[in-house]
Structure 1
Amino acid sequence: MFYPLELQNNTLNIPNSEVEKTTFKDLGLREAQLEEFLASNLELLVEDDENLLLVGQQVRDISSGRTDLIAVDENGNLVLIEIKRDLDDIKSRKEPFEFQAIRYAATLAKINNVETLVNKIYAPYIEKKREISQQGLTAVEQAQRNLNTFLESNESKGIFNKKQRIILVASQFDDQTLSACAWLSNNNVDISCFTIEPLKFADQLFIDFTKILPVQRNEDFYVDLAESNSSIKRDNSNRISKKRYLPRMKELFEWGILSPNQKVSIKNQDNSDATVVDEKTVSFNENIMSYNQWGKVVTGWSAMSVYEWIIPEGQIKTLHELRLERIDNKQRD
């Protein structure tokens, strides 16, 4: 449950005003507006050790189906993102929400090289959004450059689209959809479900964004032992084996790996220097923004792994490498 707080004379109080649930429909918002919001804030849909590059929106297939959003993740996989405003929108469809997504994902599975993605999806998206480079590149050339840079930076060019991911987003899900998605997840289909609900408090609006599937296990919160060489390994399926739920920004500040007013940069990115403000924000070009927003501005990606790309001044290692090193040293003591 979401509770607002007031701080008065160093005392916490719950205000008299209550948090009220509302709906996007009551707010006069359409599904298209929700789609645009998520297109600009894809970091809400991924862990902070994941990267995303948005490559398509409202993409039609030959059967006249339309995919809401398409992205590429740090493993080179295509990510299908389907959005429904509310439960009524899910129930009003002729086919189940999850079946629609599976059908679209099957279409994406046919894209087996970068050139096909560029020509059929990414270049038209760039052209539609008028994101043509100032360097005189065509939409195809710009798409090719963006995608190759993203894949090469994440060392995933050679494993492009070996697997597809599905992300479903709605303010509510019916039991049948959740049951089907849970079964798919248990049978190794990479599918996730998120709820996004608007809340009112006084004159302010808030978003309650929650991942409800797949369900986390207690073991997911255990901190893994660091690799002896502090590196990230690829498993036999060519997916990057990453350690999730490692220490976050709070611990990095406590350990002195990061501190306010410290200079930081983004790996392999020129002119990316920023100044740490606190655990959540940096100052870049005299603007205060989140770490992920800074990464998006510098790289052009839709979401950036802050731990695997940020390098503190005076270091050659990323935050991820530094925290693994710290864990390794603590285990030796």
Structure 2
Amino acid sequence: MAFFRIESENHLQPIAATTFSDLGMKERQDLQALLRDNPKTIGTDLLVFAEEFSNWQDSSRRVDLLALDRNSNLVVIELKRIEEGGHMELQALRYAAMLSTVDFPQVREAYEKLLANPAVAAKRGITAHDAEQQLLDFLGAVTASEVNISSTPRIILMAPSFSKEMTTTVLWLNEREVDIRCVSVQPYEIDGKRFLEVEQVIPLPSSADYMVQKKAKEAKAEKQAVDQKRRSRSLPTLVEAKVLNPGDVLELIRLPRGILKDVPQDARYADLIDETRVKWHFNGKEYSLTSLCAAICAQFAPEVLPVTYAFAGPDNWAMAGEKIWLSELARSLELSPLELPNLG
């Protein structure tokens, strides 16, 4: 981003960026301390709880800054004052992997250590004794037992600029749902005063909402596909487990848009023939559960649903006299005993 000084009417004077080296600013003592004490410059809703974090065995590596977001995600923040950032993305990925097992007691311990620094404690107006309570308040939790730290840390890379190799890597990781961001941090000196420009460059803020919506849509579509596959296996699963047997009577227990009330009682039953077919009591013809739903709606409420309506047959039928959908009954066979629904 270019900066200009308005010198006079219709005249702009460009303001050249400087470097941290030219300003005599060091990475850890100056830049890291500035960002540690001003986390809003990094991202909204972050609580920085550690710097130079190294709470692991057999490694001397240290995370520049470590933060939490309000969704209990760890956020690895790596800083470089040099142009193009070196290989900081690879370093940050290693850190994220090493941090995947960190739990809340370790977060609290690290924050207590940070607050043992008098300058940090004074800046935040709290002491190490208050560390756990501030963490709980930030996360909206009452007790430590409620907090489950995510095993997939987020990553924020901060440097004056980023190489093409790095941005290509970050974009590739973003496409694979790794939450990693590049934030440009650029110093300026104007009339003896120092300024710091902080700007997220990957992903672009304008595309962030789009990416969130796209991922949500893809996740929904994937879930629907899984659910559809499970429904299609409902009858075979129940027959194989001998929960259902040929000749058993099935009952229609629901239909969309309140159509069930229009279906006569004797038209709500069908006999199971095999794992794919049933015989409707109303006319003695054979159908799949899905096609029978369509036939019933066409027979008794032809104006309510379009002929192309997509029924999920096992979601509408149950064993006669029961109220549990066949799809849910089949699903219960795949769950552990602790996960089984109440079938009574």
Aligned-CA RMSD value: 3.3
- The aligned residue for residue 19 of structure 1 is 15
Q: Does 1:40 align with 2:37?
A: yes
1:84 Cα deviation from its structure 2 partner: 0.3
1:23-172 paired onto structure 2 within 5 Å: 23-32=19-28, 33-46=30-43, 50-60=44-54, 61-62=56-57, 63-87=59-83, 90-91=85-86, 96-112=87-103, 114-119=104-109, 121-129=110-118, 139=128, 141-152=129-140, 157-172=146-161
Question: CA separation of 1:176/1:220 partners in 2, compared to 1, >3 Å: closer, same or farther?
Answer: same
Q: Are the aligned partners of 2:96 and 2:154 in contact in 1 as well (CA < 8 Å)?
A: yes
Give the match's secondary structure for 2:3.
Answer: coil
Deviation digits for residues 204-244 of structure 1 (CA, Å, limit 9, x no counterpart): 4332222111134568489x9xxxxxxxxxx99xxxxxxxx
Match of 1:175 in 2: 164
Greater RCO, CA 8 A, separation 6+: 1
Shift of 1:159: 4.2
Structure with higher helix content: 2
> Matches of 2:207 and 2:112 in 1, distance apart?
43
Matches of 2:132 and 2:191, distance apart in 1: 47
Superposed displacement of residue 203, structure 1:
3.6
- Name the CA shift for 1:154/1:175 in 2 (closer, same or farther; >3 Å): farther
Residue number in structure 2 paired with 1:260 = none
Q: Equivalents in 2 of 1:130, 1:2: separation in Å?
A: 34
Q: Larger radius of gyration, structure 1 or 2?
A: 2
Letter in 2 for 1:111: V
Residues 221 and 179 of structure 1, relative CA distance in 2, 3 Å threshold: closer
- Per-residue CA deviations over 1:256-279 (Å, capped at 9, x if unaligned) read xxxxxxxxxxxxxxxxxxxxxxxx
Query: What amino acid maps onto 2:140 in structure 1?
Result: E
Rate the CA distance shift 1:172–1:118 in 2: closer, same or farther, 3 A. same
How far the C-alpha of 1:163 sits from its partner, in A, is 3.1
Q: Are the counterparts in 2 of residues 18 and 201 from structure 1 also a CA contact under 8 Å?
A: no
Question: Structure 1 185/57 Cα, relative in aligned 2: closer, same or farther at 3 Å?
Answer: same
Separation in structure 2 between the aligned mates of residue 192 and residue 98 of structure 1, nearest angstrom: 10
For the 8 Å contact 1:75–1:154, the answer to whether it is kept is no
CA change 1:87–1:147 in 2 (3 A) is same
Contact 1:69-1:80 at 8 Å conserved across structures:
yes
Listed as ranges, the matches of 1:121-270 within 5 Å are 121-129=110-118, 139=128, 141-152=129-140, 157-216=146-205, 220=209
Q: 1:116 to 1:174 in 2, by over 3 A?
A: same
Q: Which blocks of at least 5 consecutive residues in structure 1 are unaligned?
A: 225-234, 237-333
Counterpart-to-counterpart distance in 2, 1:219 and 1:78: 19
Q: Is the 8 A contact 2:101 2:151 kept in 1?
A: no
CA contact (8 A) 2:50 2:111 kept: yes
* Residues 115 and 27 (structure 1), Cα distance of their counterparts in 2 relative to 1, 3 Å cut: same
| Contact preservation (8 Å) 2:141, 2:147 | no
Q: Which amino acid aligns with 1:118?
A: R
Q: Unaligned regions of 5+ residues in structure 2, if any?
A: 214-218, 221-344
Relative to the length of structure 2, the TM-score reads 0.53
Q: Which residue identity lines up with residue 67 of structure 1 in the other structure?
A: V
CA shift for structure 1 position 76: 1.1
Q: 1:200 corresponds to which letter in structure 2?
A: E
